[in-house]
C-alpha cells in the first residue's frame, strides 16, 4: 500500500497522460474529437479505483469513493459514448468549431487540448485521493451526507439526460429547444447536477486530513462551466442551430439552478 500522496499523484498523472495520448491518436485518424469527453469521464472513474486500490487509508473510505466515482463514471461515460460517439454521425459541434478555427494546426492543438484534459483529470481526482488516504476508522456523518447528495445528483443528471434523449427522438423536435421536464426549469440541468456530484465528492473529502483541497474540484468545475467550455460554448452552438427559439428560451429559463420559468410580457 502507498501512503505518499505525491507518489499516487504521479502514478495517476502518468496514466491519464498516456490514456489521452492514445485517444489523441484516435482523433488524428478519425478527425473526430468527440470521444475526449468520454475519456475524461472514464479516466476519473479509473483514477478513483486506482487510488482506492493503492492507497493505505481505511478500507471503508476507499470502498466508498471507488463505488461512488465508478458508478458516476460508468453512467455518464457510457451515456456520452452512446450519444456523442456511437450514434452521432458527425463530430460534436464544439470541436468542429475548434477544428475550423485552428485550421492546419488542429492536430497539434488538439494534442495540447487532450493533455490538458488529462491534467484536469488529475486535479479533479484530488478529492478521491484525499478520501482514499483517510486513516480514520469507518465512515463519518459527513460522508453519509455526501453520499445522499451524490445520489440526488446522479439521479437528477440521469433524469435530465433521459428526458433530453426522449425529446430528441421526436421528429417534431428538429430545430427546436427542449423544454421537457427538468429542461423547463434550467437550460443546463445536466450541468447543475454534474456540479452537485462534485460538491458531494468534495464534502466527503472534508472528513479526511487535508480534505479541504478537494474543494478545488467543484470550484474549478463552476468556473469551467460558466467561463470556458461549458455553458458559453454550448449556448453559442445552440444559437447557431436554433436561433430565435433558443434566444426566447434564454429569456424564459434559468441558466443553471433549476427554477420556475419567467413569464414573458405580452405586447
Q: Could you report the per-residue pLDDT of 19-40, keeping only the tens digit for each? A: 999 999 999 999 899 999 999 9
- pTM passes above 0.85: yes
Question: Are 40 and 146 spatial neighbours (Cβ–Cβ below 8 Å)?
Answer: no
pLDDT at 173: 86
In angstroms, the CA 188 to CA 184 distance is: 10
pLDDT in tens, 75-91: 999 999 998 888 888 88
Q: How confident is the model at residue 267 (pLDDT cuts 50, 70, 90)?
A: very low
**Vertex 117 angle, CA 5 and 37, to 5°:** 120
Cβ-in-10-Å burial (0-12, 13-18, 19+) of 65 comes to buried
What does the pLDDT read at residue 265?
A: 46
Distant-in-sequence, close-in-space partners of 144: CB < 8 Å, separation ≥ 6:
none
Dihedral sign of CA atoms 185, 186, 190, 194 in order: negative
pLDDT score of 99 more than 70: yes
Q: What is the pLDDT of residues 203-253, one digit of tens each?
A: 999 999 999 999 999 999 999 999 988 899 889 889 988 999 999 999 999
Instruction: Categorize the per-residue pLDDT at 157 as very low, low, confident or very high, splitting at 50, 70 and 90.
Output: very high
Amino acid at each position: 500500500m502507498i501512503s505518499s500522496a505525491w507518489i499516487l499523484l504521479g502514478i495517476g498523472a502518468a496514466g491519464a497522460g498516456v490514456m489521452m495520448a492514445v485517444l489523441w491518436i484516435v482523433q488524428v485518424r478519425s478527425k473526430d474529437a468527440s470521444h475526449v469527453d468520454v475519456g475524461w469521464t472514464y479516466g476519473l472513474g479509473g483514477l478513483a479505483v486506482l487510488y482506492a486500490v493503492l492507497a493505505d487509508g481505511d478500507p471503508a473510505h476507499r470502498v466508498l469513493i471507488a463505488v461512488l466515482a465508478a458508478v458516476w463514471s460508468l453512467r455518464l461515460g457510457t451515456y456520452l459514448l452512446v450519444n456523442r460517439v456511437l450514434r452521432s454521425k458527425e463530430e460534436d459541434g464544439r470541436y468542429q468549431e475548434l477544428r475550423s478555427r485552428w485550421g492546419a494546426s488542429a492536430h497539434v492543438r488538439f494534442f495540447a487540448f487532450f493533455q490538458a484534459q488529462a491534467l484536469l483529470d488529475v486535479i479533479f481526482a484530488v478529492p478521491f485521493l484525499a478520501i482514499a488516504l483517510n486513516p480514520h476508522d469507518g465512515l463519518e456523518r459527513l460522508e453519509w451526507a455526501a453520499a445522499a447528495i451524490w445520489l440526488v445528483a446522479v439521479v437528477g443528471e440521469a433524469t435530465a439526460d433521459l428526458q433530453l434523449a426522449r425529446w430528441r427522438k421526436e421528429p417534431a423536435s428538429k430545430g427546436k429547444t427542449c423544454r421537457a421536464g427538468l429542461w423547463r426549469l434550467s437550460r443546463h440541468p445536466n450541468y447543475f447536477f454534474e456540479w452537485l456530484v462534485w460538491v458531494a465528492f468534495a464534502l466527503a473529502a472534508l472528513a479526511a486530513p487535508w480534505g479541504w483541497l478537494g474543494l478545488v474540484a467543484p470550484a474549478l468545475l463552476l468556473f469551467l462551466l460558466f467561463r470556458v467550455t461549458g455553458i458559453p460554448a454550448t449556448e453559442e452552438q445552440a444559437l447557431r442551430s436554433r436561433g430565435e427559439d433558443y434566444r426566447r428560451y434564454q429569456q424564459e429559463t434559468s441558466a443553471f439552478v433549476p427554477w420556475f420559468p419567467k413569464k414573458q410580457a405580452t405586447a
